[in-house]
Structure 1
């Protein structure tokens, strides 16, 4: 069990400061990677649209209401991004069988193929960077990121 003394010790403070610095670097790198990935899919694809597209692809099907909730974005922003994704032929839209007011969104086959290629490339880069870690160290890092995601 970790005591509050251990969490507030000078060593812990230094380690947490280090962690914050590296998290900031990871976030900055992630934003750059999203921008690069969006451009690889289509030069006109914006980062926001890329994030929506990756979610739509992983979900299989979704709708604008679900996207607005998931990404905590205004429905008008979602609507514009969905329209752009449709214009770029990256998603398809059809009426929902159960509720005709809703539109079901799916990634096009070409978008799915492009995203699969990006995931392969990103996976290879991650494997290369993590090659010096043991499986136990990777599990510990994964646990730390899971805990951070629950804040």
Structure 2
């Protein structure tokens, strides 16, 4: 390895270390945002339940089996969250039309409205944060996050 290649390698290592530090900060902020968002919907809503509810709302519906696979959670944990979401009036359950043994879960209208308000607030915050970036810079950042999500 030449001196020039070693310098480039050291620069890359430094940049990657900086990226990891900022990703850790983003993850910590995301966990805080999930807690705040769950509490805005209902003070008793747990973060896990919030994430399931948000997914169901975006997907339109889901089964407990789909949720367990998607979130890599034990079915008993999913069942507890679903039960709590139903008790809070945030989730409705009906029999699957093709297989009556399965339950189809959907967000209630009040949950959908609360989630839409949260998403609007989150989008507004994000717009403010990235206001100084060009569309090309936003696309580059998006590409980095997409690649990281595929790891």
Matches of 2:91 and 2:56, distance apart in 1:
8
Structure 2, unmatched stretches of 5+, are none
TM-score (normalised: structure 2): 0.95
Structure 1, unmatched stretches of 5+, are none
Matches of 1:139 and 1:59, distance apart in 2:
25
1:124 pairs with 2:94? no
> How many corresponding residue pairs?
146
Matches of 2:135 and 2:11, distance apart in 1:
25
Provide Cα deviations, 1:93-126, integer angstroms capped at 9, x if missing partner. 0011110110000000000000000000000000
Matches of 2:135 and 2:33, distance apart in 1:
25
Matches of 1:55 and 1:81, distance apart in 2:
13
Which residue in 1 is equivalent to 2:137? 137
Alignment RMSD: 1.0
Provide Cα deviations, 1:60-105, integer angstroms capped at 9, x if missing partner. 0111000000000000000000000000000100011110110000
